[in-house]
Structure 1
Amino acid sequence: MTALLPVPALLPTYAPYPFPLVRGEGDRVFDDQGQAWWDFYGGHCVCATGHSHPAVVKAVADQAASLLFYSAAAALPVRDAAAARITAFAGMDSVFFCNSGAETNENALKVALLLTGRGKLAAFDGGWHGRTLLALSVTDDPKITAPFAAHLTPCLRLPFGDLAALAAADFSDVAGVILEPIQSMAGIKTASREWFQALRAKCDASGTLLIFDEIQTGMGRMGTPFAAQFYGVRPDVITSAKGLASGVPMGALLMTAAVAAKLKGGDLGSTFGGGPLACAALLATVDVLEAEGLPANAAAAATRLRRELAGSAVTEVLGEGLLLGLRCADAPALKKHLLARRFLVGGSGDPTVLRLMPPLNISDEALAALIAAIRAFAPESK
């Protein structure tokens, strides 16, 4: 009988940093040796209000002390308040709460299939929407989609931002089209305002639901509450997660009244979705975003980075607000250079682009330190 190989208690997924993190404060995290790291990665675009913001910590602690959890079997004032607050913030009419970005996208796509009666979806080259089955159907990442190819829903895939290809596409049998307003994993790819407006018009003409996957672009990151406001387009559905509750797991399926009115009880469901702890964190998150002007801070930080990185090894700053890509001829070497100086940044599917997704309350001190570190980068620092 073959002996089983020993395995770790925690199944390995991503390659972690070569040090554990034990604490966070604002725009910095601290390792087990007490060293501080400037966090321009934000736990993958999650820590919208910074690490352990006092207002969020207090809201979570107070809620935990009064009612840690109850499901949707009971009406909860904190859930009702969270629904009213996030729909107003997003400029939408109704919300279904769940637990993660993938779950939110899965439900958005399910709604499109359910309400239209069609069997095909549409998405874009380079799009990344999650690991559940419908989300995999629209994700352009063969290494994770290929093993499940037989189980995926048919998907019409188009080039992102291409007006001619969009005009030529046939949406007559497409239930819903989903897109990231800025394609993050693909290397911070953007499209024109004209293209977004043409996409809205095409969906209107064909009866196709337009779904903005704002898992990363939402919650003030682009300088507006959501990218929908940035591009002046109102989608039928917005999906939100990551920064929604400052790191407490939460997803939100935000929809127009026209979509919500067609859904009936039991079409969607989630045991943990809209739990009181997450709802309290969401309320505190929106409070902080608005009271501290964090969307405006995101826009100002992007302007400063573009201005002060000109002439450095970074040849182009991509993206909007604090979802940015730094194009560099040797991005891996720049990432290594920054890690050695205790800056956390992200890679992407484009080997020439590093991603910045820091807390929206990133400080002037952190920006100045990053700019100085990048300007000090030279090829010999490999």
Structure 2
Amino acid sequence: MIPSLFPTYPPYPLVMVRGEGDTIFDDQGQPWIDLYGGHCVCSTGHSHPKVVEAIHNQSKQLIFYSTAGELTIRREASNSLIAFSGMDTVFFCNSGAEANENALKLSFQITGRKAFGSFQGGWHGRTFLALAVTDDPKITEAFESIFPEHHQFPFGDVQALESIDFSNLACVIVEPIQSMSGIRTAPSEWFSALRAKCTKAGCFLIFDEIQTGVGRMGQPFASHYFKVRPDFITSAKGLASGVPIGALMMTEVVAQHVKSHMLGSTFGGGPIACAALIATLDIIQNEHLMEHATQMHSYLASALKNTMIDEVKGAGLLLGLKSHKASDLKAYLLSQRVLVGGSSDPTVLRLMPPLNVRKSSLESLVEHIRAFGGKS
């Protein structure tokens, strides 16, 4: 018999009841160290008191009204995000896939070009255009015959980039760090060359920052980390500490070509999500969580030397632990009540913990890895 809740991803082996900071508690009252963060979502930890307070206070005032109504809280959220991101204007939606979908659609509408560019190993979502530029055959191959023209290029290869013709592309979309593919990164000079090439060809550059943004790399967004300003930045996941919201940010140059009828969303920028977003950005900045992300990265990179971890990949707290025994290590960590994630690279485990993860929790991770390495 099919269950009332349709199964999608294989769940962790526990029933989650509540969370606090970097810890999840199961239905037996047992604590689990959460280094997965609900798939890179719980940016300020589970149930941060300031986020809870913001949601509570807003729910007493107004739970919802669409963009048919002018809302002070929505205006405040847009001002906060634009100040944090350095972009010029934002359209609020509900998810990362929706933000990417709208960036791709606008690129088509503004340029009139019918082809899209992306990169091998990129993962951009399950809506139609986002799926078309995603490199994941198990979810894309059924639709290949009806996708628009799209091209996938080598990721992070400066020499290969030089030989690619962008002149017929509406846009190029890129994850600054390819998370699902195993925390694959590219050198700064490649991003600079990509920016220059897009500008010269007259195609838009979209940074898919669904996972790299909101302070996770130790900077507000990867655009700051790599010192490249794209035409669009898309954001979601940790943007409101787990309350669903997506954001499509753009430059003024792009926005001048966007007419009001080109964008719209019923639930995008709802009052509760906006209140959570404002609280999230305040916490990240006032509690110095970007600096903390950088420090915790440095700690792990040092502490995991001379262990079964061959490489600590990524930046800030978007991390990949490379090991030829990654699958066995993940199972062992679960047995010790430590949650981590896998990737499409069988040798890489992903860590995407809350940005306020305690150093003691990472010290426990290191101890478990050393213990498992000694047994294997």
**Residue pairs, 1:276-295, within 5 angstroms:** 276-295=271-290
Distance apart, 1:378 and its partner CA:
2.6
**Residue pairs, 1:1-382, within 5 angstroms:** 6-378=1-373, 380=375
Q: Which amino acid aligns with 1:37?
A: W
Of the structure 1 ranges 12-21 and 371-380, higher mean CA displacement relative to structure 2 is found in 371-380
Q: Which amino acid aligns with 2:317?
A: L
CA contact (8 A) 1:133 1:151 kept: no
Q: Which amino acid aligns with 1:147?
A: A
Instruction: After superposition, give the CA deviation of every residue in 1:129-183 in whole Å (9 maximum; x if it has no partner).
Output: 0000100110000000011112212111111001111110010000010010000
CA–CA distance in 1 between the matches of 2:306 and 2:141? 42
**TM-score, reference length from structure 1:** 0.98
Distance apart, 1:380 and its partner CA:
4.2
Instruction: After superposition, give the CA deviation of every residue in 1:17-65 in whole Å (9 maximum; x if it has no partner).
Output: 1211010000000100000000000000000000000000000011011
Of the structure 1 ranges 189-198 and 370-379, higher mean CA displacement relative to structure 2 is found in 370-379
User: Which sections of structure 1, spanning at least 5 residues, go unmatched?
Assistant: 1-5
CA contact (8 A) 1:22 1:30 kept: yes
CA–CA distance in 2 between the matches of 1:352 and 1:265? 46
Match of residue 3 from structure 1: none
CA–CA distance in 1 between the matches of 2:373 and 2:93? 46
Q: Which amino acid aligns with 2:24?
A: V
Q: Which amino acid aligns with 1:260?
A: A
CA–CA distance in 2 between the matches of 1:334 and 1:82? 41
What SS does the aligned partner of 1:266 have?
A: helix
CA contact (8 A) 1:124 1:179 kept: yes
Q: Which amino acid aligns with 2:89?
A: S
Distance apart, 1:375 and its partner CA:
1.2
Distance apart, 1:266 and its partner CA:
1.1
What is the percentage of aligned positions where both structures have the same residue?
A: 59
Where do 4+ consecutive residues of structure 1 move more than 4 Å? none
User: Which sections of structure 2, spanning at least 5 residues, go unmatched?
Assistant: none
Q: Which amino acid aligns with 1:277?
A: I
CA–CA distance in 1 between the matches of 2:375 and 2:147? 47
Distance apart, 1:265 and its partner CA:
1.1
CA–CA distance in 1 between the matches of 2:176 and 2:66? 32
CA contact (8 A) 2:116 2:170 kept: yes
CA contact (8 A) 2:307 2:373 kept: no
CA–CA distance in 2 between the matches of 1:265 and 1:105? 18
